[in-house]
């Protein structure tokens, strides 16, 4: 929630003012509504005693509206149906009568009213009794009638006490389950379910609100009325209870949904950007937010299960050598320069691997620290895999069959406008880009037949790729060279070197990451690709560059690890010598001395390669973050300021000419983010503070970049749409995740941990902690089972089985795809055939219609006085018209269904029938 | 309707939530924005019809090339002048909201693109659509030849039954394959 607070603050006074206003407004509104209600109720209480009546009256009013509409509809239908059932017509007439009666009611003739009401209820009862048996259609009708009766009766409520008693009797009869046969009950249940479905699907219907409101109220009323009648005997109360609970649950869910959307941080910020720059720039920020969420969870895991327990329950600082700054470094351990490099006190803290002790259980909780450390390391990676893959799968589901290219033009036409654009400048750019897009598409279509000078373009493309490869190799070598050089410096000791020499590696990596993409951009102009293809190439190359740099860095780091391990061996040997000498010395001096106390800072210790790796990664992240922010400030902000203010006194137009304002580079930023995350995954095992740092970084860059994009960037000239590339980013993230866990796993599995630092010290391998736990914390049989299970004889078949399962799933998915294509073809064929058939049928029907008209005219001429036959004729005409329309199912929506217009009430019967079919979609 | 309350009381709010794809906050925001457009002396907020010109002044719709069409499609006014009352306004926002289904979005998109309201997208509709999308004026617009080529291509792709027009089901068929229709057919207040 704190994010929202921040965001509101950032959003400025305007937003706040609006909100306040809104709050005030709603208060006022509420007050006024209450006052009104009070007034109304006071007036009502003169006639009625119970509050609930009021509600029922409202319903009655609504019901009346509905009845009104139905009556109209019936009137129309009456013209159409020659063989309208007598009951139906009677009812229509009755309805009209009711309407009239109600009008007079309003005038206030109380005495008459009650009598009539009674009569009507009785007649209605009779009616239901007569129609109660019959076919399905009839029961449906009957159901409707019943409903209507309910409306009538409920509207009756307000009239008088007597009347309400009367009504209650009738209601009891209706609701009593004993009075309904099981068959009817079943049907009633069906109707109730249908209504429920209708309510649920209502929001997905393209109807005007008025119609939706009416339908909703009507069906809710129906539900209220009949849901109680469904349960049988003892189950009835339970049923009612269940219904009530589902209602409550729905409401809760809705509120929870509202709450959830209110909790999404930076929503308004992103929407603002979205409306200014279109969805592509916003997609970067959404991606950033998603990353932030993941890092929050990683941070929570490492912070809650590793750092805090060690800090609270582990041995305090200075108790053992690994938790103490060595004597030699003590003097400079608090210097800012040292701390900034994560040396000194920072190095000997919970931030790094080396600080953790190898006690099996710490504190009064007996918290298994080494085990927790290991499991958190594995868990963060596993969680990341899970999230990335799940998101990918969801995206793939959403985009559906996005790869088929058969609707290229239509998509350009129908879906190219980004409705979110609210900035005139962006809109202009969008117009231009759509136009060029159309022109390009047309040209492509023409060019696909002829291609000129293919040799030149081929040559240029090969040349470009060669140049890019040279760049990649050069940058890789440069990094390797720099890392090796820095190792030499490290052996000499950092103090003798300048700042540049100390930070060479990180600076070189950041600078390469900054300038190589520009170089690639220049090279890619040689290739003359379509912009989208060019963008993909560009992305691929930057990806390769980053990856190459990262891996060179890792290889160099591996070298360094080996060096450190050599060093460690020597130190280990020295320590045994040192201990022996110490022991011997004390023995010779004083035999009865208690165990010698040496200050932990004086104990010689090994180099602890794990902490070194962690430090390297932390430094890399810090320098990367700094470079990003500084380029943002210089490249975007300073440039924008210069262009803006120097424009008055410059020889050419700076804003339109050369430097101009910068665009927001979505792909570059996304790649930067992805690689940053890769480094986090790689280093998090050796430096538990990395996720925390990353959360901080992402948080800052969210605000900084939002600000930068709004204040100093111009909308892109080519406004790309984002969603298509969404899974592309995810795929890259997955690749990076895999590639970054590889080295981490390699080091964990193959290299023995340092002997005197970290939670796994003293063990042969880091994963031995699992075995140890199994042996000492679990019963014997468990470890036995585990050892059997981890036997290669079992593991290998299992892997084989998995491979087989994958193969099977893949082949089935392939066959599904093929079936899909087949079905598509079939569908198209059928469509065409249907169309032909329909055309024939339509023509035939048209001819029939003409004939019928002739006949009708003739008959009209012959027997003018016989109205009935004429009506029958017209009814037949109508049927024919319907027949011509019915077999065109594809058109049933595009015909401007009469429901659009407020004058035409909807047909509720048709609605009920249509509800399940809509559900299926 | 029975209730002509000028305020959004709780019942209305929950009904609107039931009937639209909007959350409570969004409905309240919509109401606020809507009442900002109301003339001062007007107290009966919900049923008042705001004329199209006032609606088009909203920054969210101002730059949209289809803004007039959008108003006309969502208007339930008898005179077809594109004026919107609050119900229509909510309908609009619901169709353009984040969580609206593809089906409803494509339905309304079809009606927006159907300039002559005849239930199909004919050549004239498509031509107007292209003009809207390209800004319609000056050097940016396409030449007649290009226009013809473009429309031919579109009809070739999406007119499955070859009757020279694109009807709703064909349109929905095309749109449902599109990877980014749902994400771009959005208007957020």
Q: With an 8 Å Cβ cutoff, are A29 and B120 in contact?
A: no
Q: With an 8 Å Cβ cutoff, are B140 and A432 in contact?
A: yes
pLDDT at A432 over 90: no
Q: Which residue, chain included where needed, has tokens 């018209």?
A: A881
Predicted pLDDT of residue A805: 96
Q: Which residue, chain included where needed, has tokens 């994963």?
A: A767
Per the document, the length of chain A is 921
Q: Is A95:A64 a contact under the CB 8 Å cutoff?
A: no
CB of B19 less than 8 A from some CB of A? yes
Predicted pLDDT of residue A297: 95
Nearest-angstrom CA–CA distance, A446 and A863:
67
Q: Which residues of B touch A414 (CB under 8 A)?
A: 109, 113, 171, 174-175, 178, 181
Residues 6+ apart with CB under 8 A from A571: A604, A605, A606, A607
Per DSSP bridges, beta strands A713-714 and A662-663 are: parallel
B120 DSSP assignment: E
pLDDT at A121 over 80: no
Q: Is A506:A556 a contact under the CB 8 Å cutoff?
A: no
- The ipTM assigned to this model is 0.84
Residues A669-692: pLDDT tens digits? 888 899 899 999 999 999 999 999
Q: With an 8 Å Cβ cutoff, are B9 and A891 in contact?
A: no
The CA distance from B177 to the nearest CA of chain A, in Å, is 6
Residue A696, token pair as written in the block: 């901080």
Q: With an 8 Å Cβ cutoff, are B9 and A896 in contact?
A: no
- In the structure, how many helices (H) and strands (E) does chain A have? 32, 2
Nearest to B107 among A418, A893, A902 (CB): A893
Burial of A765 (0-12, 13-18, 19+ CB in 10 A): middle
Q: Suggest the residue from A29, A203, A405 to mutate for an interface test with chain B (most B CBs closer than 10 A).
A: A203
Q: Is A856:A873 a contact under the CB 8 Å cutoff?
A: yes
Per DSSP bridges, beta strands B120-121 and A713-714 are: unpaired
Q: Suggest the residue from B30, B183, B187 to mutate for an interface test with chain A (most A CBs closer than 10 A).
A: B183
Nearest-angstrom CA–CA distance, B140 and A432:
7
The CA distance from B64 to the nearest CA of chain A, in Å, is 7
Residue of chain A nearest B111, judged by CA positions: A894
Predicted pLDDT of residue A298: 95
* Adjacent-strand bridge partners of A662: A713
Residue A75: count of CB within 10 angstroms of its CB: 12
Residue A427, token pair as written in the block: 């809109």
Q: Which CATH number, 1.10.3720.10, 1.10.1270.20, 1.10.238.10, 3.40.50.2020, labels domain B9-95?
A: 1.10.238.10
Q: With an 8 Å Cβ cutoff, are A65 and B35 in contact?
A: no
pLDDT at A89 over 60: no
pLDDT band of A180, cuts 50, 70, 90: low
Residue of chain B nearest A212, judged by CA positions: B19
Nearest to B179 among A208, A279, A723 (CB): A723
The SS3 of residue A713 is: strand
Of A351 and A416, which is predicted with more confidence?
A351
CATH T-level fold of B102-184? Recoverin; domain 1 (1.10.238)
A-B C-beta contacts closer than 8 Å: 240
Residue A320: count of CB within 10 angstroms of its CB: 18
Q: With an 8 Å Cβ cutoff, are A209 and B95 in contact?
A: no
Residues B49-63: pLDDT tens digits? 888 888 888 887 888
Nearest-angstrom CA–CA distance, A692 and A346:
15
Residues A624-640: pLDDT tens digits? 898 889 888 888 888 88
Nearest to A420 among B120, B146, B188 (CB): B188
Chain center to CA of A375? 28
H-run or E-run covering A662: strand A662-663
- Delimit the domains of chain B by residue range: 9-95, 102-184
Q: Which residues of B touch A904 (CB under 8 A)?
A: none
Nearest to B32 among A22, A423, A724 (CB): A22
Q: Which residues of B touch A208 (CB under 8 A)?
A: 76, 87-88, 91
Residues B87-131: pLDDT tens digits? 888 888 888 888 888 888 888 888 888 888 888 888 888 888 888
- What is the residue-averaged pLDDT of chain A? 72
CB of B91 less than 8 A from some CB of A? yes
* Adjacent-strand bridge partners of B167: B120
Are B9-95 and B102-184 equal in CATH topology? yes
Q: With an 8 Å Cβ cutoff, are B63 and A409 in contact?
A: no
Q: What is the average pLDDT across A438-465?
A: 74
Of A103 and A752, which is predicted with more confidence?
A752
Radius of gyration of chain A (CA): 40
Residue A222, token pair as written in the block: 């129906």
The lowest-confidence range among A531-540, A546-555, A642-651, A675-684 is: A531-540
pLDDT at A423 over 60: yes
Q: Which residues of B touch A202 (CB under 8 A)?
A: 18-19
Residue of chain A nearest B136, judged by CA positions: A431
Nearest to B23 among A32, A257, A421 (CB): A257
Q: What is the average pLDDT across A507-522?
A: 82
């Amino acid at each position: 929630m704190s994010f929202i607070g921040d965001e509101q603050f950032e959003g400025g006074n305007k937003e706040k003012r609006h909100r306040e206003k809104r709050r005030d407004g709603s208060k006022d509104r509420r007050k006024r509504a209450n006052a009104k209600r009070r007034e109304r109720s006071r007036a009502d209480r003169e006639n009625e005693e119970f509050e609930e009546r009021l509600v029922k009256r409202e319903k009655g009013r609504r019901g009346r509206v509905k009845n009104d509409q139905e009556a109209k509809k019936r009137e129309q239908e009456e013209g159409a149906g020659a063989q309208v059932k007598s009951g139906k017509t009677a009812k229509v007439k009755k309805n009209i009568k009711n309407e009239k009666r109600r009008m007079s009611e309003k005038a206030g003739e109380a005495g008459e009213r009650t009598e009539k009401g009674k009569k009507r209820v009785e007649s209605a009862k009779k009616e239901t009794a007569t129609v109660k048996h019959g076919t399905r259609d009839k029961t449906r009708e009957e159901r409707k009638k019943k409903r209507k009766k309910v409306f009538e009766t409920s509207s009756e409520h307000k009239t008088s006490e007597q009347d309400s008693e009367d009504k209650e009797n009738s209601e009891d009869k209706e609701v009593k389950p004993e009075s309904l046969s099981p068959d009817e009950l079943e049907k009633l249940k069906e109707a109730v379910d249908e209504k429920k479905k209708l309510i649920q699907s209502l929001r997905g219907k393209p109807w005007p609100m008025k119609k939706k409101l009416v339908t909703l109220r009507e069906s809710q009323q129906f539900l209220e009325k009949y849901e109680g009648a469904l349960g049988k005997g003892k189950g009835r109360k339970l049923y009612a209870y269940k219904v009530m609970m589902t209602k409550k649950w729905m409401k809760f869910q809705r509120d929870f949904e509202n709450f959830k959307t209110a909790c999404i941080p930076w929503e308004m910020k992103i929407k603002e950007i979205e409306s200014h720059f279109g969805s592509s720039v916003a997609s970067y920020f959404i991606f950033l937010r998603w990353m932030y969420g993941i890092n929050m969870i990683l941070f929570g895991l490492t912070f809650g299960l590793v750092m805090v327990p060690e800090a609270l329950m582990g041995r305090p600082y200075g108790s053992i050598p690994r938790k103490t700054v060595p004597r030699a470094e003590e003097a400079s351990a608090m210097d800012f320069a040292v701390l900034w490099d994560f040396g000194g006190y920072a190095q000997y803290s919970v931030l790094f691997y080396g600080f953790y002790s190898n006690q099996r259980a710490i504190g009064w909780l007996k918290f298994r620290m080494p085990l927790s450390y290991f499991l958190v390391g594995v868990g963060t990676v596993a969680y990341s895999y899970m999230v990335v893959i799940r998101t990918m799968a969801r995206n793939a589901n959403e985009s559906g069959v996005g790869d088929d290219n058969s609707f290229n033009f239509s998509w350009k036409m129908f879906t190219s406008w980004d409705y979110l654009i609210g900035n005139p400048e962006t809109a202009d750019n969008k117009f231009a880009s759509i136009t060029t897009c159309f022109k390009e598409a047309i040209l492509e279509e023409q060019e696909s037949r002829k291609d000129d000078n293919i040799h030149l373009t081929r040559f240029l493309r090969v040349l470009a790729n060669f140049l890019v490869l040279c760049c990649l190799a050069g940058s890789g070598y440069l990094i390797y060279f720099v890392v090796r050089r820095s190792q030499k410096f490290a052996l000499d000791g950092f103090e003798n070197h300048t700042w540049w020499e100390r930070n060479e590696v990180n600076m070189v990596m950041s600078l390469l990451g900054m300038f190589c993409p520009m170089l690639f951009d220049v090279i890619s102009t040689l290739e003359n690709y379509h912009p989208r293809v060019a963008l993909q190439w560009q992305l691929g190359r930057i990806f390769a560059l980053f990856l190459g740099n990262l891996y060179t860095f890792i290889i160099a780091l591996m070298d360094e690890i080996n060096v450190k391990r050599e060093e460690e061996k020597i130190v280990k040997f020295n320590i045994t010598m040192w201990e022996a000498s110490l022991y011997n010395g004390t023995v010779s001096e004083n035999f009865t001395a208690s165990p010698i106390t040496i200050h932990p800072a004086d104990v010689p210790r090994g180099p602890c390669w794990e902490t070194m790796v962690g430090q390297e990664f932390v430094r890399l992240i810090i320098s990367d973050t700094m470079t990003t922010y500084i380029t943002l400030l210089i490249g975007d902000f300073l440039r924008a300021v210069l262009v803006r203010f120097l424009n008055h006194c410059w020889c050419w137009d700076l804003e339109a000419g050369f430097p101009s304002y910068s665009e927001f580079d979505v792909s570059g930023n996304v790649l930067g983010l992805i690689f940053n995350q890769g480094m986090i995954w790689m280093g998090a095992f050796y430096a538990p503070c990395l996720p925390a740092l990353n959360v901080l970084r992402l948080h800052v860059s969210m605000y900084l970049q939002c600000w930068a994009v709004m204040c100093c960037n111009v909308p892109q000239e080519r406004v790309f749409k984002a969603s298509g590339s969404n899974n592309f980013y995810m795929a890259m993230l997955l690749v990076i995740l895999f590639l970054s866990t590889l080295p981490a796993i390699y080091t964990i599995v193959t290299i023995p941990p340092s002997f005197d630092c970290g939670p796994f010290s003293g063990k042969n391998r880091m994963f031995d902690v699992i075995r140890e736990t199994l042996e000492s914390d679990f019963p014997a049989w468990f470890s036995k089972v585990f050892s059997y299970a981890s036997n290669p004889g079992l593991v290998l078949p299992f892997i084989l089985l998995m491979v087989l399962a994958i193969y099977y799933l893949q082949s089935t998915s392939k066959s599904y795809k093929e079936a899909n294509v087949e079905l598509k073809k079939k569908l198209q064929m059928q469509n065409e055939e249907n169309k032909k058939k329909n055309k024939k049928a339509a023509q035939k029907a048209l001819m029939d219609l003409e004939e019928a008209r002739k006949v009708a005219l003739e008959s009209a001429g012959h027997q003018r006085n016989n109205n009935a036959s004429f009506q029958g004729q017209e009814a037949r005409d109508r049927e024919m018209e319907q027949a011509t329309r019915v077999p065109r199912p594809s058109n049933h929506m595009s015909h401007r269904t009469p429901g659009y217009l407020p004058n035409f009430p909807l047909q509720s019967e048709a609605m009920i029938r249509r509800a399940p079919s809509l559900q299926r979609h | 309707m029975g209730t002509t309350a000028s305020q959004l009381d709780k019942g209305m709010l929950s009904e609107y939530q039931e009937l639209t794809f909007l959350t409570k906050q969004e409905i309240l925001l919509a109401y606020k924005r809507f009442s900002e457009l109301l003339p001062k002396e007007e107290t009966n907020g919900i049923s008042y019809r705001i004329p199209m010109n006032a609606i088009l002044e909203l920054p969210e719709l101002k730059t949209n090339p289809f803004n007039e069409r959008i108003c006309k499609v969502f208007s339930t006014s008898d005179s077809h002048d594109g004026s919107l009352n609050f119900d229509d306004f909510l309908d609009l926002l619901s169709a353009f909201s984040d969580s609206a289904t593809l089906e409803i979005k494509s339905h309304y998109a079809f009606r927006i693109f159907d300039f002559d309201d005849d239930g199909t997208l004919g050549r004239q509709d498509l031509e107007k659509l292209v003009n809207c999308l390209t800004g319609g004026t000056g050097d940016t617009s396409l030449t007649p030849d290009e226009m013809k080529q473009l429309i031919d291509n579109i009809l070739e792709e999406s007119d499955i039954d070859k009757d020279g027009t694109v009807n709703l089901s064909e349109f929905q068929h095309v749109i449902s394959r599109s990877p980014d229709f749902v994400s771009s057919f959005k208007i957020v207040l």
